[in-house]
Amino acid sequence: MKTKPDPNSLLGHLIELRNRLLRCVAAVLLVFVAIAYFARDIYALLAEPLLAVLPEGTSMIATDVAAPFFAPFKLTFIVAICLAIPYILWQVWQFIAPALYSREKRLMAPLVFSSTLLFYAGIAFAYFIVFPLIFAFFTSVAPEGVTIATDISSYLDFVLKLFFAFGLSFEIPIAILLLVWSGSISREALAEKRPYIIVGAFILGMLLTPPDVLSQTLLAIPMWLLFEAGLWLSRFYQPSTDDQTQEQEP
């Protein structure tokens, strides 16, 4: 007769990890199936910032035969992952929570929630603020005689890269809070490194965005401001010094 693995053993942890990963995959697929019918509408919404500034008589094009079909569904799958992020993070939280001390649990729960909101805020900032500015700039500097006709697959890759860059950069306050709270670095030391961090923000902006000064600056400045916000918030979090003596909760 088969015996149930001990949940506290390595095999038990691996089985639980597998089950939670399967739940995450199932959640993404369910969301994808629910919104797949609206794939074309979702792509049209994504293309709106570019279409709004294209010269009259121009439009987006598809250079690949299958692109009109695959590009909207690729975007829809990415949207499904983004919509399922709260559930995915909840599964991650449920998996690691038993190993955390009570003080860590009190800290991590709001951080998981706020990191999700910040990621969405980064995507919204890119869509509503950055895209109209950079697309208007790109279309205005096109040489005379050049017809602007952006490929839908290239456009999708471009905006997804920017979404990821801005979503990730908006997590800076969370990273600073964790570093200060864990005692890895003090907020005073971070404040002293401000000039280097500002330079680093512009370097990251150069690496994470397309090779144009405008999008690099539009990413670097928010990163700097988010660093300042995280530095200010870190004063309310004291380094964890006594967790090693606490008992783990069941």
| Domain ranges, residue 123 | 10-236
What's the pLDDT score for residue 238?
61
Q: Is residue 211 part of a domain?
A: yes
Tokens 């094009």 locate to: 61
Q: Is residue 250 part of a domain?
A: no
Cα→Cα distances 136→50, 132, 148, Å: 8, 6, 12
pLDDT per position as a tens digit, 61-111: 888 888 899 999 999 999 999 999 989 988 888 888 777 777 777 777 788
Q: Is residue 35 part of a domain?
A: yes
Q: Is residue 249 part of a domain?
A: no
Q: Is residue 2 part of a domain?
A: no
What's the pLDDT score for residue 248?
43
Cα(155)–Cα(140) distance, integer angstroms: 17
- Highest mean pLDDT out of 19-23, 103-107, 199-203: 19-23
Cα(26)–Cα(13) distance, integer angstroms: 20
Cα(124)–Cα(242) distance, integer angstroms: 39
Number of separate domains in the chain: 1
Q: Is residue 224 part of a domain?
A: yes
Q: What angle do CA 144, 211, 170 make, to 5 degrees?
A: 125
Cα(77)–Cα(34) distance, integer angstroms: 11
Return the SS3 of 154. Answer: helix
- Highest mean pLDDT out of 5-19, 112-126, 177-191, 202-216: 112-126
List the alpha helices (DSSP H) in the chain: 10-35, 39-51, 67-96, 102-125, 131-140, 152-169, 172-182, 187-192, 194-208, 213-233
Q: Is residue 242 part of a domain?
A: no
Q: Is residue 247 part of a domain?
A: no
